């Protein structure tokens, strides 16, 4: 695999390692690829993770413990395309647990404040269809949901 040269860095106060552990537990084959820790005299306690690099299903992320300077925002989110309703349900449940919060239209915030979009893998097909009526039905259905329901969206696309 060619090394990914462009990737996202997410800023955390001090719980990047807990976030990394959650994220790699959720995705098959995901792993922590590198951890750099703060030394003595640093802004956070010695031994606290400074930077954690992850591979989540072929997507490289960097999590940084930088202290309470910046907050996560819905302006950026991690999109996960799910093949089944079971996968949507599993990820939705795990990411909203322990202080996470559901959002509208497949969006949620995990307990660390990171925004996610948990969507069916076919969403791109539905939203780029040449059939404007089908696109409209799918969009109307999405707008009425928090966690997305794959069967309802398939039926909306089909017009049934």
| Residues 52-85: tens digit of each pLDDT | 999 998 999 999 999 999 999 999 999 999 999 9
- Residues with Cβ within 8 Å of residue 53, at least 6 apart in sequence: 32, 33, 34, 35, 60, 61, 62, 63
Question: Does residue 5 register a pLDDT over 90?
Answer: no
Question: Does residue 136 register a pLDDT over 60?
Answer: yes
Question: How far is Cα of residue 60 from the mean position of the Cα atoms in its chain?
Answer: 13
Domain 1-69 CATH class label? alpha beta
**SS3 of the chain: helix, strand, coil, percent, to 5:** 30, 30, 40
pLDDT attached to residue 77: 96
Sign of CA dihedral 109, 140, 144, 157: negative
List the domain boundaries for the chain. 1-69, 72-160
**Cα end-to-end distance, the chain, whole Å:** 43
pLDDT attached to residue 57: 87
1 pLDDT band, cuts 50/70/90, is very low
Nearest to 48 by CA among 39, 56, 57, 61: 39
CATH no., domain 72-160? 3.10.180.10
* pLDDT tens digit sequence for 83-93: 999 999 999 99
Q: Any bridge partners for residue 80, and if so which?
A: 118
**Across the chain, what does the average pLDDT equal?**
95
Nearest to 60 by CA among 21, 112, 5: 5
């Amino acid at each position: 695999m060619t090394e990914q040269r462009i990737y996202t860095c997410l800023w955390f106060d001090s719980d990047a390692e807990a976030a990394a552990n959650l994220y790699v537990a959720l995705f098959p084959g995901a792993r922590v690829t590198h951890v750099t820790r703060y030394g003595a005299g640093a802004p956070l306690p010695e031994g606290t993770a400074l930077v954690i690099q992850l591979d989540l299903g072929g997507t490289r992320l960097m999590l940084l413990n930088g202290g309470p300077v910046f907050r996560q925002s819905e302006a950026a989110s991690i999109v996960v395309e799910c093949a089944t309703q079971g996968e949507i349900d599993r990820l939705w449940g795990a990411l909203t647990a322990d202080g996470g919060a559901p959002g509208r239209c497949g969006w949620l915030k995990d307990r660390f404040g990171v925004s996610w979009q948990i969507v069916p893998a076919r969403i791109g097909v539905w939203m780029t269809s040449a059939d404007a009526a089908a696109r409209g039905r799918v969009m109307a259905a999405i707008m009425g949901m928090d966690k997305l329901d794959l069967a309802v969206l398939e039926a909306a696309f089909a017009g049934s």
